Structure formats: structure tokens, C-alpha cells
Structure 1
Amino acid sequence: MQMDPPANRPTHHFNFHGNGAEYFGIWIVNLLLSIVTLGIYSAWAKVRTNNYFYGNTELDGDRFEYLATPMQILIGRIIAIVAVILWMTLSQMSPKLAIGLALLLALAFPVLAARNLRFDARMTRFRNLRFDFAGSYVGAYVVFLLFPILAYGLIALCFGLVAWGASMHSVAIIVVGVIAAIGAGIFGYGLTMAAVASYVINGYRYGTSKFKGKIAISAYVKIALGAATALVLSMLLIALAMLPIGLSELVQAAMQGASMEDIQQDRQLAMTLAGMMFGGYLALLLAGLLVFAFVKVKIRNYVLGQVQLENKLQLGSNLTVAGFLGLVVTNLLLTAFTLGLGRPWVEVRTARYLANHTQVSGDMGFTEARDHNGGRDNAIADEMVDAFDLNIAVI
């Protein structure tokens, strides 16, 4: 759903002005003080980090602001840590109790997710207007709980068909069940992810102005099919490339009259096979990174391409798979060869790359937006989501 744009509609690109060396100073101080204070300073560290990244992100000559205070973060973090410790302690006392607590957490997750989105939105300001999130709790339960249960249930039914085929010793039923399970998994992924993206996008506000976007399940299904195809083809190519090497070495040793015991004790052959396995592992790693880059780029470009603000502004993203893959690989190498000290440069490079490939089309001076009068909220849900690793990723 695109706007009907005038021929000369302006396009405004995001810009990120931070640099690795400057951020390294903030990052290392945050790290050291968090260690010295046994984690207490981490609340101030989070605010300083967000202030740096928000403050260095520019759109049409103005920069974003992060409004949360360290005390908001600290109170939320303390409550989240106490909840995690309580959960771990009670889980050790009884497996049944652990299951019950996990179910309670699952039931609470939609509320935590909605409040987390609201907090993050309200803590962000641009041109003196705060963002907001107005998604309902009912909608949160539908997209974060009901749809995933339906998806997993559909997959379980397909595996039940596989089990039935195995009990009947029917290869045909097993094959049909496996194919159905794969199809159900892809459809369930598309259904759930499209629902989450739609809920988040249409719940966001800039002041009182509404974001909107029509997200299609079919788009996510196509992306999932493309990723699955790429992964399967990559694995086949790797197998076809590695197999002849191993077979040729074994055949050559056998032709020279070597026995199985000799072959097992042949160091050169063992090193060749070990090298082949290592090469295969690296190839699989690269294939996995390629699939990750493909999914990330396609989803981000598609989702942002659907987002509008009051039919006045159109968001867009033009990432490329090759460019993003190059960023991911170089970031991994930078992190590995600096033993983690290159992390600030990784974060800055990523922020700059994403900003440079994100744009807004339309008149940035439209005047319909007004600031909302929603409260500043607390950071409890935000920290609970982080503590239990329940973060929501739409793009």
C-alpha cells in the first residue's frame, strides 16, 4: 500500500554521525563501571548508550532523543532481576513448579510485550514530539500467544501424521506427513510474523499521528521459502564439493593396497579428511550467514516499504543481501580478532549502514502531528523482556 506521490516528492535519508573511537570511550567506561558497581551502573550505561545512538541519528536535519532516566531503568532492572532469581530458585525446588512458572510467564508475555513497545516508543522523541504505542492487550494476546499456539498445533498434527505412518509402516504417509509439516512450519511462520509486524506497525504513533501498514502473510511465506531453498541448495553444493575429495583419497589408498587398518592409521588421509570436515563446517557457517542476511534484508525492505504515517510520509529500505552479508562477516571478524574490544566499532558500523539504507519520502514539514499526553511509564516490562530474553524483532 503505497501513497499516491507527486512527481517531485522529496526523499530524506537517515544519517548516523557517530564513530567507533568516540563510542569506544563511552562503551569501555560503561563496562568497567558496571563491573565495579556489580551491575548497578548498567542502568546509567544503557541510558548513555541510547543517548549516544539516538542523538547521532539524523533525519532531515534533526536528531532523535532518548528520554528514559537511569532511575527508571534501574528500578525496572532490579524488579526483573528479582523475578529471574525467584523463578530460578523455585524452579530448582520442583519441576512441576518450574512448568507452572513457565506457563505463567507465557501468559504474561503479551502484556509485557505491549508495555515494552509502549515504553520504548514513549522514550523516543523527534522534533519535540514523542512516539507512542497504542496496541491493545487483546491484540497482543492474539498475535503473541494465539497465533503461535495455532502454528505449533498445526505442525504437531503433521508430525502426528508422520508417527501414524511409522506405526503403519507406510513410507507414503510418512513422506506426506513430513512435507505437510514443512509446509505447516512455513505457513505458521508467515502467519505469526505477519501478525506481529501488523500489530506493531499499526499500533505505533508519532505524537497523535498514526502509522499504518498492510502486511501480507504471503510475503513472509515467500521469504521463508526462499531461505529454505537457499539453505538446502547450499548444503547440497557443499556435500557435492566435499564428497569427491574424501572418496578420491579413500580410493587412492585402496588402490595402493592399503588395508582398512592402514587407512585408519594414515595420518595424511586423516588430516585430509579433517581439513575437509573443517572446510565443510566453514562453508555451512557461511551458508547460514547467507540465509540470515537474506531473511533480514528481505523482511526489512518489505516491512518498511509498507509503512506510512498519516498518508503523508512513506518509509523505505534498500538493503542488499550482498552488502548486509559483507557487513555481518566483517563485523564477526572484527569482533573475533579484537577479542571483543572491537564491539563499539561493530555497533557503529551497523547503525551507520542501516541508517544510510533507510529513507522517508514525503513532506517532513506536515503539521498534523501533535504530542500525545500519555505518561512516561516505568521500565519494568522493558527490563523483564530483556531479562527473560523475550525481545520482539519486527525488522
Structure 2
Amino acid sequence: MDNFQNNDFSVSQQSSSSTLQLEFRGSGSEYFRIWIVNLLLTIVTLGIYSAWAKVRRNRYLYSSTHLGGSSFEYHGNAIAILKGRIVAFVFVFGYQLAFRFSVPLGFAMMLMMVAVMPWLVWKSLQFKLYNSSYRGIRFGFRGTAGQAYSTFLLWPLLAGITLYLLAPVLHQRLKRFQHNESRFGSTHFSFNAGVGQFYWAYLVGIGILLAGVIVICIGFGSTVMALFAGGHGDKFDVAAAASFGLFIFVLYMWMFAIYPIFLTLLQNLIWNHTKLGDHQFKNNLQWGRMTFIAITNILGIVCTLGLFIPFAQIRSLRYRVESLQLEVNGSLDDFIAETQEQVNATGEGMADLLDFDLSL
């Protein structure tokens, strides 16, 4: 699961239906205090505190996220996260150092990184879900190492060989693996979006991108041509140069604005085809709202020299989470009680399995 993946995450159940909506009971100012302390301590300790910073941040975000009157909890261990980051650092440092000694050694190190990375991602997914809980019941991940290598090694290679024509297939396989193999207690998630639906989302996103680029190029076509054709000798057309600068700026802003559209298409597709047992998720992100949040966040970060970052993160996360609903088939309390009984009967059996987090 991507994330649980905001000024306020809280939950209310609609009396007229069995639909539960996620919210967030935190604030940008609270998160700013956590963020600034984490940042300063991470700098002072040369990055070592970053593992404890992650635990502190996640505990705040999880505890602020509510569903049906109860919050989520994060149980990650900072030492385990630090070990994962040390492993990642050793691999990256070794990769950089190997090429300084010899090219063959560098390629050997690169192949070793490629070979071990799916296993590390698999363990990280296990760690992340097992250390998340709701109403005292842990999440979990049952996927195997073989599935991880197929998802994170085979399909990326195939996508690269086909010049990423198989990128939607890769994306669908990745989400199918993540969601199908995740569980809440003994109840499993399921994912039923097909490859064709991912191709359609990609085509729509790329089509909107290209349409915008074409319109921008047509609108600025004459002024851009004037920049190259209007100069004579030492003369320089300042107006044409200014128009060209504006053209680049508008083009960049369109590239930036298209990301929320693409994100909206994909997140709605993914969660609208995800279930927890018999309970269906529904997602209703609006690209206009996503784009507004993204643009105003960037402006706030630039104008405050970065101090708006935690507020921007909360604004974006709040909207994404509060767009997600769970349509409960029956009573959530009955479902939780039944799940708790099943967990108590079977036992977790996971405590000694997971003590590692790559912290992707």
C-alpha cells in the first residue's frame, strides 16, 4: 500500500449509508514543530537521527489519521530503520567507490545491487505494514520473495527493453502485488484493475500533456521564431528574447501542472479497484483541486525559503486522504470484532520475521 501512502484527518460515518471517510486531526503548526526539530537534529547528527525522525513523524501522522472514530498507529523501531539506511548507504557508497577502482568492479557492484534490491524492497514492505495497526490489529504483507523479484526486477527490465511501452503493465503489476498481498489482521486486500485500464489512464494523461504543449507552442510560435530570425549583426531583439523566456516558463508550468492530473487519474483508478475483504474503497480526487494545492504549495515554499514545506505536506496529504472512503458491507464494529477473533485464533507469527526497513 502506498501510504495511509493535513490539517485534519478525522472520520465520520454517514448515517444514511455505511460509508466511512478518512480525515486527519492534526495541523500544519503541530507538524511544523516536529519537522523543524527533526531537521535540526538530523543535521547535527550527520543524518543518524533521521531514523528517529521518521518514527516521530509517522507516529504523528498515523495517530492523527482516523477512521470510524479510531486512529491508526505506527510501531516502527528506529534502530531497524537505521539498519536499513546503513545498508542502503553501504550499497550506494560501494557502488560509487567501485567505479573509481575499475569499471568491471563497478559493473559487478551494480549487478549485485540490482540483484538484491527486490529483496530489500520486499522486506521494507513487510516492515512498513507489520508496524502499522488499527484498533490494535496489525496490518501485514504475505507476498513472497519470488513475487518481489518478478515485480521489482523482471517487469522493470521488460519495460526498459520495450522503451517503456510496457510501463502501464509494470505499474499494474506493482499495484496488484502490493494490494493483493497486503492484509489487515487475517483479512486480505484485493485489487482488480486491469492492464487496459492502466493504459487508458496513461494515454489520457499523455494526451492532455501533448495537447497543452501543442497549444503553448502554437501560441508562442511567432515570438520564438522571431528570436532566431529577427537579429541582425550585433542587434538583439529584447522583446523576442523576453517572449522566449515566457514561453519556457509557461511550458515548465504546464509540465508541473500535468503531474496532479496524472496523479488524480492513477490514484482514483487504483483505490476504486481495491477492496478489504467485502469492503470497497472509493476515491474521488479532483485534478483541479490537486493542481491548486500543488501550485500554491510551491509558491508558499519559495516565498518562505522552504519553511512552508511541512504545511505544504500536510495540505497535500490531507486532501489525498480525505478523498478516500471505505464502503463497509455491514458494521465496521462487527468486522473489527470478527477480525480480532481470527487474529487471536491464528496468532500473528510475524514478530521475529521483520526487523528491517529500507525506508524508501
Unpaired runs of 5+ residues, structure 1, are 1-6, 156-184, 254-258, 387-395
Letter aligned with residue 375 of structure 1: A
Whole-Å separation in 1 of the counterparts to 2:215 and 2:355: 48
Whole-Å separation in 2 of the counterparts to 1:82 and 1:148: 23
Query: 1:14-93 residue pairs with structure 2 within 5 A?
Result: 14-93=22-101
Could you tell me which residue of structure 1 aligns to residue 325 of structure 2? Answer: 359
Deviation readout 1:354-386 (Å, 9 max, x if unpaired): 122111111322133244331265554424xx3
Among 239, 247, 256, the residue aligned to 1:289: 256
Whole-Å separation in 1 of the counterparts to 2:350 and 2:228: 72
Could you tell me which residue of structure 1 aligns to residue 235 of structure 2? Answer: 265
Instruction: With the length of structure 2 as denominator, give the TM-score of the two structures.
Output: 0.87
Larger radius of gyration: 1
Whole-Å separation in 2 of the counterparts to 1:376 and 1:131: 15
Deviation readout 1:208-228 (Å, 9 max, x if unpaired): 111111121111111111122
Query: 1:1-395 residue pairs with structure 2 within 5 A?
Result: 9-155=17-163, 185-186=164-165, 188-246=166-224, 260-261=232-233, 264-266=234-236, 269-270=237-238, 272-311=239-278, 313-362=279-328, 363-365=331-333, 366=335, 367-370=337-340, 371=343, 372-375=348-351, 377-378=353-354, 380-383=356-359, 386=360
Whole-Å separation in 1 of the counterparts to 2:306 and 2:57: 17
Q: Contact 1:119/1:376 (CA < 8 Å) preserved in 2?
A: no
Runs of 4 or more off by more than 4 Å in structure 1? Answer: 246-251, 376-379
Whole-Å separation in 2 of the counterparts to 1:277 and 1:37: 46
SS of match in other structure, 2:326: strand
- RMSD in angstroms over aligned alpha carbons? 2.1
> CA shift at 1:106, angstroms?
1.3
Name the structure where helix makes up a greater proportion of residues: 1
> CA shift at 1:115, angstroms?
1.0
Letter aligned with residue 317 of structure 2: A
> CA shift at 1:94, angstroms?
1.4
Whole-Å separation in 2 of the counterparts to 1:60 and 1:140: 33
Deviation readout 1:71-122 (Å, 9 max, x if unpaired): 2222332333233323322232112221221111112122112111111000
Letter aligned with residue 265 of structure 1: K
Q: How many residues align?
A: 336
Q: In percent, how many aligned pairs have the same letter? A: 28
Deviation readout 1:148-187 (Å, 9 max, x if unpaired): 22233234xxxxxxxxxxxxxxxxxxxxxxxxxxxxx34x
Residues 377 and 300 of structure 1: CA distance in aligned 2, closer, same or farther (over 3 Å):
same
Q: Contact 1:30/1:41 (CA < 8 Å) preserved in 2?
A: yes
Whole-Å separation in 1 of the counterparts to 2:177 and 2:91: 27
Q: Contact 2:83/2:357 (CA < 8 Å) preserved in 1?
A: no
Whole-Å separation in 2 of the counterparts to 1:33 and 1:273: 49
Deviates more, 1:33-42 or 1:200-209: 33-42
Q: Contact 2:91/2:113 (CA < 8 Å) preserved in 1?
A: no
Instruction: With the length of structure 1 as denominator, give the TM-score of the two structures.
Output: 0.80
Q: Contact 1:301/1:319 (CA < 8 Å) preserved in 2?
A: yes
Q: Contact 1:305/1:316 (CA < 8 Å) preserved in 2?
A: yes
